[in-house]
Structure 1
């Protein structure tokens, strides 16, 4: 009997314990879900961080974000001069949900909005309705978002920009998704029944841009206000420290010699340029200048350059700047290998170290060596190659470090890939900044908040139309792009590519696998056998004419870059930036503005004519001086030696007498062309062109105006030198 009572008591105790445990478990789950819900649905903190710039913060933002590597402070005074703006939506309508997966951001999107940006995109222009994944990749493919310079930043023609401050691989659904809201939807008849129609997904925007940021515990979102699209870009560039102002000589012509050229061969090439009166400011040396290249030793190859110091000095006396090719992977034979051994990632690339440029100590070691070994000896710049990632679209492209790499600073491989180009160019650029000497670098990767770095991007791809498109896309993201010229399929291809190069931020011929300039022989094999075309001299003369125009344009371009630095206005930008309400320009990716008054419409080899749309206002064909009313399309024909550009009515265009190279003593002889009867004043920027003294106020502004049939020049400023001589004025009506 006692035994039965005991059993009953035990059963009761077990029952009560299970009941209590269940209730505690239910309470725990409920509290956990409430806690999770609170985290997921919490309202982001909103702060104004600069005039017209707001930052939304939710959760715990990542440590290694793009803005954490921005080397310059916002130019607040300049930003405050921009017009006030009002967003087309309420900031509180931006939703940020943080979960164990990461963060999801939803930004309102109007059906009429057009979206642009995401860095140096290739294969797409208007991003509305697309899924973009801006990931660094050495071979951009289709319109996926893979790029040499990916950026988690897009802008709207409604007058705002959104930057997600993350270095993780992030996906943007640009109005391409629709949520299950519980409502019943019926077929509207638009989709049809064909597979093609079903997969097209060309319905109106979903009402928001969804951003998927995996692997984070929180996120920051920067909002750049307008009111106009151009003001958005100004705010972004000024917030990044102002746009880059390269050394004046960097706006001349750059020519990269064959990879295995020795000292004598480079000197011979330099003599060729000067003997034939072909403009050239920079000669670039490719891998063989150093003892090992893949990975790099950063040591002069004495078999090829037995007296490199004398070589640099000799080139300088002839007006040439020397640029050195390299990448960041440090060979065991390099003097930098031992010092960087414990300051690099845990994986090698081409048996070389990957320096942790996020660590200031590693950056300083790399920079100090370059300063003492090269910069103080007269090297004017570097080409920073392979600082992107191996091609993620093919399984056999495995040369770069993996995404799971770890670095002493704590950054992982995925994040490092995204920011590697920025921290690399920042390391090299700061050498020149500290020495008060300007440069113009070449780089194969970049990311957000890098507007202030004078580094021009390039690519191993070679599609001409995409190269033109990338000029337009670069302006949305504070980037500089070089549509370089290599070999060509025909003389027509060579000349059209040369025209595009002349009408870009950097005019670059890359002959790293050509014995001779491509205008002497377009065929690669024959070029390397020194077999020239029968009409080589005629083609050379045509190229000379184009390059002379480039040199004539330098004062205008230099002033456009000055506006980039001080006002944040991109010197090269898509038409939609200046005309955001004109539907005709929403998808034009092969026309762009240069400075305030020039519209460029490059041609490819496929035709000697093309369709050109001219926006509002009147425009003048630069070559024929014919006047065209705007808001219309025209068919234009442009010869190989003319430039496919139009000048906006009201523009004063200063053009210089061509020079073969730009020295500190160069004084440009200018002719000012006045387009129309009521020209707007043009501000010409004047300084020494080689130092950062302009940041201390040592520059002049030459205000050019045309009044009562007479040209007027008003000069103000603290620069004591003189860069320009106004020779004449010419009115074009």
Structure 2
């Protein structure tokens, strides 16, 4: 056996921990002086070698305070929104141990000697505190106190015994990051089984009511209580550390604070919430049209057909020239029109990498639009694929416009959306037009790429939308993102869900994954089993966005025979019936409420939810508990309140665990007591016709009156549900027709009534 070959093929971390190990660590020892200015507090401190360093403390909002340690506090951010808050009323107090910066919502104490930051809420409850004494009996440090070394800066904070940590991007392990350690260095993860990540977001959320956003693009390393149970530490390969401390009661206000800094999520168009069909890839026009016609023949609702690289002249799978291969796809404009007539929109694959033997490379190099190599003269090359490629320089405004124009030409032809694949492989020797070092540009590069395509799509089509794989802080402004390349196993299915929920807890509002898995194990081209395909489809069709995709083998539901086709159709039809509910919930993303989210988002005070990463809420009133086996049962946690089994109307009262038996045709699905689900008509695609007539599925809760809204791009409907011991009344609208309602009851068939009329229980 070739040992060297085995070593070469061993999976590697994105960046080794050794890249972040200080050789001569120094701690911040004490504060020498402070000086209050109108918008900030300037602090002069010294380390344990008596070297002076500057710290700037700047309240930017009543719930957010910025701390910049080291040189360059005036450097502009590459990550913040143009609408970022820049100041809040604050006061400085001198305390027995140092100083305190106070706003109406927080208090940041700066201890003089030894130096330490402490963050408390307005009531004085301590949320965050630095940890300078994480030592063993010998005095050796598990985590060095906050400090610096050559080329490194780090922050060390205390971990409380029951504290849980969330966020940091799309990672596939346990949702609670406590006990984990990994780098923030965006890479092709080659799957969903390791700590390699397509999407990193330097936002750490704590169950103790604080968040830390590191406003940095440099490589970071997170050590989250792995070396010691008493502290977490974040190390940056940089000459400074810039972070924002956010206070809030629960996950939702912390993420809203992050959105204050980096921008609110955009909401994609309503049809994007329909089903997308894809594979790698459809090779010609005849194949695409055959799939489209079969979809309609089989009555499987679908809105989008995606074409992977084979639509282009260069289609090795990682780069392209954005020009149709008209031998395989003759008259592409005519094909787009034909698909439009069948109710389909088209998504096209692209990459920021340019084939070296293409006209696009020649033009881009001549005009200075491609990344240059620091070795001088030539291009910086992307390696790791069958052929090397050049990379578009998105720090050059003219290059951005050049790339956008190539996308506009496709969009103006009738393409609906671009799949912005890759961007994790910026060459280490790249020299950017704006002078940003490659190591600082690496994590940022996907964001610049996706922003260009998102903006071009909005300029042409009137809406912003991409289908992206990589990402960084601020990517929520450019949805939608999917979870890369999972294997065709139940383990990868569960990991894909954890990755998507982790992405949501990192500030995103929408997410997806490849239904069925992308690649076979151990044979790359093997399809998923019919049972895995069904289980993944049930989860995917009741998620934020739904796309079936895979390597080589078909992902169309009829390829998996019966009963897979019938089960798939049933859940696809359910998704389309739920579109009024789903899209109305999606519109709340701008207020910081993601469409799909883990239980801890809604129930932060319930400690059990911190460890539930295989269930999720879909909108305000549906709880989904996917099955990760073909048959059998699973434990389901139901949070506080009443819950109806969607299929049987059996009612449960939480908080509690239940054991749920589910045959292959059944996905455990629950409706919150007190909910009203607005259901639309049967559709084959989202905009086939009006969403009317609506019907309303009512799941009574405790006696009382509740109000709720139902919105789309054309109207805002308002309803009131009144329930007492004997009757209920659902009223509101306005609607131009008599809408039917059904009132669900445990152990009895639903009662049928009409909107605006009282219905009696007996």
Bin for the TM-score computed over the shorter chain:
0.7 to 0.9
State yes or no: 1:595 paired with 2:626: no
In structure 1, what is the equivalent of residue 66 of structure 2? 55
In structure 2, what is the equivalent of residue 210 of structure 1? 233
Equivalent of 1:520 in 555, 558, 580: 558
- Displacement of 1:163 in angstroms is 1.2
In structure 2, what is the equivalent of residue 510 of structure 1? 549
Equivalent of 2:414 in 378, 390, 399: 378
Query: If the length of structure 1 is used for normalisation, what is the TM-score?
Result: 0.79
In structure 1, what is the equivalent of residue 708 of structure 2? 682
Change (3 A) 1:131 1:84: same
In structure 1, what is the equivalent of residue 157 of structure 2? 107
The higher radius of gyration belongs to 1
Unmatched runs of 5 consecutive residues or more in structure 2 = 1-43, 88-103, 107-119, 132-144, 374-379, 517-525, 746-762
Deviation sequence 1:184-243 (CA, Å, 0-9, x none): xxxxxxxxxxxxxxxxxxxxx32x3221112x2212101222122221122223433212
- Displacement of 1:289 in angstroms is 0.6
In structure 2, what is the equivalent of residue 705 of structure 1? 720
- Partner Cα distance (1:239, 1:659) in 2: 39
The within-5 A match list for 1:115-194 is 115-139=165-189, 145-177=195-227
- Displacement of 1:358 in angstroms is 2.3
- Displacement of 1:262 in angstroms is 1.0
State yes or no: 1:627 paired with 2:656: no
In structure 1, what is the equivalent of residue 741 of structure 2? 729
State yes or no: 1:481 paired with 2:481: no
In structure 2, what is the equivalent of residue 354 of structure 1? 391
- Displacement of 1:98 in angstroms is 4.0
- Partner Cα distance (1:112, 1:517) in 2: 43
- Displacement of 1:323 in angstroms is 0.4
- Partner Cα distance (1:638, 1:725) in 2: 38
Change (3 A) 1:596 1:726: farther
- Partner Cα distance (2:57, 2:437) in 1: 29
In structure 2, what is the equivalent of residue 9 of structure 1? none
Query: Is the 1:256–1:510 Cα contact (8 Å) retained in structure 2?
Result: yes
Query: Is the 1:135–1:145 Cα contact (8 Å) retained in structure 2?
Result: no
Equivalent of 2:369 in 336, 343, 350: 343
Equivalent of 2:274 in 244, 252, 259: 252
Name the structure, 1 or 2, with higher relative contact order (CA <8 Å, separation 6+): 1
Query: Is the 1:357–1:363 Cα contact (8 Å) retained in structure 2?
Result: yes
State yes or no: 1:279 paired with 2:294: no
State yes or no: 1:461 paired with 2:497: no
- Partner Cα distance (1:657, 1:39) in 2: 72
What secondary structure does 1:495 align onto? helix
Structure 1 vs Structure 2 CA RMSD: 3.0
Equivalent of 1:564 in 589, 594, 614: 589
State yes or no: 1:449 paired with 2:461: no
Q: How many residues align?
A: 623
- Partner Cα distance (2:401, 2:672) in 1: 47
The within-5 A match list for 1:308-457 is 308-341=332-365, 342-345=368-371, 346=373, 347-349=380-382, 350-371=387-408, 373-389=409-425, 401-435=426-460, 437-457=462-482
- Displacement of 1:149 in angstroms is 0.4
- Partner Cα distance (2:580, 2:448) in 1: 31
Name the structure where strand makes up a greater proportion of residues.
2
In structure 2, what is the equivalent of residue 243 of structure 1? 265
The within-5 A match list for 1:509-588 is 509-511=548-550, 513-514=552-553, 516-522=554-560, 536=561, 538-565=563-590, 567-588=591-612
- Partner Cα distance (1:76, 1:664) in 2: 46
In structure 2, what is the equivalent of residue 608 of structure 1? 632
- Partner Cα distance (1:405, 1:93) in 2: 37
Deviation sequence 1:515-563 (CA, Å, 0-9, x none): x5443334xxxxxxxxxxxxx2543222111100111122212122111
Equivalent of 1:658 in 677, 682, 685: 682
Q: Which moved more, 1:646-655 or 1:303-312?
A: 646-655
- Partner Cα distance (2:474, 2:604) in 1: 23
What secondary structure does 2:257 align onto? helix
- Displacement of 1:660 in angstroms is 0.7
Change (3 A) 1:167 1:541: same
- Displacement of 1:369 in angstroms is 1.8
- Partner Cα distance (2:658, 2:45) in 1: 63
Query: Is the 2:54–2:70 Cα contact (8 Å) retained in structure 1?
Result: no
Query: Is the 1:420–1:445 Cα contact (8 Å) retained in structure 2?
Result: no
State yes or no: 1:293 paired with 2:315: yes
The within-5 A match list for 1:74-89 is 74=84, 87=121, 88-89=125-126
What secondary structure does 2:717 align onto? strand
In structure 2, what is the equivalent of residue 499 of structure 1? 538
Change (3 A) 1:90 1:461: closer
Unmatched runs of 5 consecutive residues or more in structure 1 = 1-32, 78-82, 179-204, 390-400, 523-535, 689-699, 716-721
Change (3 A) 1:443 1:244: same
What secondary structure does 2:265 align onto? coil
Query: Is the 2:541–2:571 Cα contact (8 Å) retained in structure 1?
Result: yes
Name the structure where helix makes up a greater proportion of residues.
1
What secondary structure does 2:67 align onto? strand
Equivalent of 1:648 in 669, 672, 684: 672
